[in-house]
Structure 1
Amino acid sequence: MKTMEPITVYVHFPWCLKKCPYCDFVSFAKAREAIDHRGYADAVLAELRKREEVLGERELRSIFFGGGTPSLWEPDEMGRVLSAVTAAAGRRSPDLEVTVECNPTSLDEQRARAFRAIGVNRLSVGVQGLDVERLRFLGRLHDPDGGLGALSAALRSGMPRVSGDLIYGVAVGTVEAAREQRPEQAAAEARAVASTGVTHISAYSLTVEPGTSFGELARRGRLPLAGDDGVADTFFAIDEALEAEGLAHYEVSNYARPGDEARHNLGYWQGIDYIGLGCAAYGTVSRPDPRWGLRSAGAEGHDGEASAVRYRNIVSPERYMAAMAEGGEAIAVESEERLAPETRLSERIMLGLRLREGLDLEAAAAALGVPAWPPSRRRAAERLERAGRLEVAGGRVRVPRAAWVFADGIAADLF
């Protein structure tokens, strides 16, 4: 591993004011004043001290505070964590990105200024929609003005980069009389968010996940759902609207003004290692420090980038905090998984094909020590090329924009 190979850090904050019915991330409803802000920061710092040896060998590219609702975290406590992470880094990227996910109900100009003061340079705000009925259906606590107001407050604070999230493909009402969001409505909402001056917009189609409230309603046949054709039409309507506003469609669900792409998420899509801190956080690290005490069979003692471990920390905030308070060398890990080189390549294909530029498949395969073009993949690629769903140029593969709505299925065909 080269000394300054890049790495990113994800810090999970597990509390929200309310659990949204579509959300499958680990989060727990709790009032701001009931959260142990300092105790949780102490626990994350204790974990960091046990992982910092790996971080200290790498160039830190980005830090992302996700959740949950990290904008609920007291800025001073978040600042303690942020300062420690940057201090532990072997070298910080000249354009180090520090992002905090926010909900409109916990973000105003004063709080945005406080985040900026501790070193945050990017806020990602969960607007999700600009229609009262759809926001209520999605379980959001803010109204349309609250979403746009949070974006404006973040921009007024002088925050260098602000992103807004939208969810489309939402149907409201009943299964028998579902009212779907029309493509022109979604495009108008995207233009309204862009007009605030944000530098980035994420637009996701509603995905119904098992284990969520929406998942249970869908299982019982009681969730109104938008049709696939309407969702696809909406995808292209948003694409056209935001490209006209000067935001380039650089990933299936993401748009940015030039130079304002989400660097942290680009790390995931490009297969860069990341350390996860906090309860329920995932991390994926090539050749992790043996002192981490990994339990997985075969997780240690292998050289090269192909030797990687994905871990997940204890999910319960209370158990995580208690384990970190005990001291010692152990880390509050719930599970670890040794990632075979073939698995890592499959993941890079799945994520890399979401990017407009696609993936240098041959370079990725060479780095992992596996063949880029086994016969089955070559045959699948040729079939997808004939269907107009894949472009292959040298060792690089990409999905044409017209086929982006099929990107996940196309990637799966190449495994």
Structure 2
Amino acid sequence: MSSEPTQTSVYVHFPWCARKCPYCDFATEPIRANAVPHEGYADAVLRELGARAADLQGRQLKSIFFGGGTPSLWGPNALNRTLQGITSAFELVSDELEVTVECNPSSLTRENAALLREAGVGRLSVGVQSLRDSHLRFLGRLHDSKRAVAALREAIDEMPRVSADLMFGMPGQTLAELGEDIARIADTGVEHVSAYALTIEEKTMFGSLHRAGKLRVAPEEQYADLFEHAEECFADLGWTHYEVSNYSAEGQESRHNLHYWRGGAYVGLGAAAVGCLDHGPGRAERWRNDPNPQRYLEQDTLGAEVEELGPEEIIREALMLGLRTIDGMNLAATEKRAGRDPKIGREREVERALERGNLVQAGDWLRVPQDRWLKLDGIVRDLF
């Protein structure tokens, strides 16, 4: 009897955007003089896909996520060609294949959304970040609140599923302001929101300003209050807080991200993309592609940095990702991937966390209670 195919997702990184945001530390660069090699980049991604063909045998395609950067700026023909190439590369494709494209309100049009839908995209993730103009200016965004709302409504008119990104923790932001943002987003018909705290990353413009004492940062107490208020607002809508930074109406969870958080295999394509594929119990390979778009375009062979993962690395990854979700980490599934019981070597730490209420175990599932999510990083760190 043949074994079940391994569910596998694909992430495609599009490294260009209209303008680099001051808080962004992703591997992206602003478009200069319309210099994006649309078809050339599609050729490079498909070339990489072909070079990884042997690793795709016996796998079923579960989801595709185009991230960036702003992949909605990719020429429709080039993106469509890439999407079709990916689906053709797998012998098996899920009947519920989820295809997501990230986009920004400043560049999303109804026509563009319709073209993406015709190409096979079924979900848009719109980088709204805020619906207050003062916050949008602070964040260096190219759109205003009016355009953000219009973009969400246009996306919903053309696309079966739409998610919005929302940021909180801007200096001086009030609970009422965040609550109003959430209500206005939900009013558009959006049924999924990724809500992130503003984080000052070292290698960003905000990082430089903060080091120079020119950027005021919200205190931790404000972040905690805003996080808890967001949770209350989404609960009032009847949504589920299914991952630390993600909320959804019933059935609207991101299947791509859930697969990733649950330790599923994924192929990373494009400049700076990261992938991780299992090669039997206790063995996995993670790679990171060259972050420089020009070098990536010129490569004839795979030029990724490769890291071999053993049982302990697989278990640590499962703890870091799985405990972010409302369901938690599945111990049996992790043992199958790692080739050993994930509790071995950390029995005392797990027992202590259970006694303190920082962990709860129900059957094969080990999770962090939602009322402890603000302490999640420390709880996970104590298990290492």
Q: What is the match of residue 100 of structure 2?
A: 99
**219-228 or 136-145: which moved more?**
219-228
Helix, strand or coil for the counterpart of 1:283?
Answer: strand
Quote how far apart the aligned CAs of 1:38 are: 0.8
Give the distance between the partners of 1:3 and 1:48, measured in 2 at CA.
23
Structure 1 residues 352-397: Cα deviation after superposition (integer angstroms, max 9, x where no partner): 011001112244124312232235x222223223333221234421
Contact 1:17 1:32 (C-alpha < 8 Å) held by counterparts: no
Quote how far apart the aligned CAs of 1:112 are: 0.3
Quote how far apart the aligned CAs of 1:68 are: 0.4
- Alignment root-mean-square deviation, CA: 1.5
Contact 2:5 2:59 (C-alpha < 8 Å) held by counterparts: yes
Quote how far apart the aligned CAs of 1:169 are: 0.9
Q: Does 1:407 align with 2:383?
A: no
Q: Map 1:66-105 to 2 at 5 A.
A: 66-105=67-106
Q: Does 1:379 align with 2:348?
A: yes
1:397 to 331, 344, 366: 366
Q: Map 1:278-317 to 2 at 5 A.
A: 278-287=270-279, 304-317=280-293
Letter paired with 2:367: R
Contact 2:17 2:28 (C-alpha < 8 Å) held by counterparts: yes
2:182 to 190, 193, 196: 190
- Provide TM-score, normalisation by structure 2: 0.96
Contact 1:184 1:237 (C-alpha < 8 Å) held by counterparts: no
Contact 2:14 2:68 (C-alpha < 8 Å) held by counterparts: yes
Q: Map 1:113-262 to 2 at 5 A.
A: 113-157=114-158, 159-171=159-171, 180-262=172-254
Helix, strand or coil for the counterpart of 2:112?
Answer: helix
Letter paired with 2:308: R
Quote how far apart the aligned CAs of 1:236 are: 1.2
Q: What is the match of residue 110 of structure 1?
A: 111
2:312 to 319, 329, 342: 342
Letter paired with 1:359: M
**247-256 or 389-398: which moved more?**
389-398
Give the distance between the partners of 1:137 and 1:384, measured in 2 at CA.
40
Q: Does 1:36 align with 2:5?
A: no
Give the distance between the partners of 1:220 and 1:391, measured in 2 at CA.
43
Q: What is the match of residue 367 of structure 1?
A: 337
Give the distance between the partners of 1:272 and 1:163, measured in 2 at CA.
22
Q: What is the match of residue 270 of structure 1?
A: 262
Give the distance between the partners of 1:50 and 1:186, measured in 2 at CA.
46
Contact 2:343 2:350 (C-alpha < 8 Å) held by counterparts: no
Quote how far apart the aligned CAs of 1:199 are: 2.1
- Provide TM-score, normalisation by structure 1: 0.89
Helix, strand or coil for the counterpart of 1:218?
Answer: helix
Structure 1 residues 12-68: Cα deviation after superposition (integer angstroms, max 9, x where no partner): 100001001111110000157321111111111111111122224201000000000
Structure 1 residues 75-108: Cα deviation after superposition (integer angstroms, max 9, x where no partner): 1110000001001112111110000000111101
**189-198 or 61-70: which moved more?**
189-198
Contact 2:314 2:337 (C-alpha < 8 Å) held by counterparts: no
Give the distance between the partners of 2:112 and 2:207, measured in 1 at CA.
34
**101-110 or 222-231: which moved more?**
222-231
For residues 224 and 391 of structure 1, do their structure 2 counterparts lie closer, same or farther at Cα, with a shift above 3 Å needed? same
Q: What is the match of residue 297 of structure 1?
A: none
Letter paired with 2:53: E
Letter paired with 1:140: R
Letter paired with 1:352: G
Contact 1:366 1:372 (C-alpha < 8 Å) held by counterparts: no
Quote how far apart the aligned CAs of 1:331 are: 1.2
Q: Does 1:357 align with 2:327?
A: yes
Structure 1 residues 203-241: Cα deviation after superposition (integer angstroms, max 9, x where no partner): 001111121111222233332111111111111111111
Quote how far apart the aligned CAs of 1:247 are: 1.9
Give the distance between the partners of 2:211 and 2:42, measured in 1 at CA.
38
Contact 2:282 2:340 (C-alpha < 8 Å) held by counterparts: no
- Following TM superposition, where does structure 1 have runs of at least 4 consecutive aligned residues deviating by more than 6 angstroms? none
Give the distance between the partners of 1:183 and 1:110, measured in 2 at CA.
36
Structure 1 residues 330-365: Cα deviation after superposition (integer angstroms, max 9, x where no partner): 2132x1111121011101111101100111224412
Letter paired with 1:98: V
For residues 286 and 32 of structure 1, do their structure 2 counterparts lie closer, same or farther at Cα, with a shift above 3 Å needed? farther
Give the distance between the partners of 1:41 and 1:102, measured in 2 at CA.
18
Letter paired with 1:331: L
- Indicate the percent of aligned positions where both proteins have the same amino acid: 47
Structure 1 residues 176-223: Cα deviation after superposition (integer angstroms, max 9, x where no partner): xxxx21122112211111111112110001111121111222233332
* Ranges in structure 2 where 5+ consecutive residues have no aligned partner: none
Quote how far apart the aligned CAs of 1:267 are: 1.4
Letter paired with 1:255: Y
Give the distance between the partners of 2:332 and 2:211, measured in 1 at CA.
41
For residues 255 and 22 of structure 1, do their structure 2 counterparts lie closer, same or farther at Cα, with a shift above 3 Å needed? same
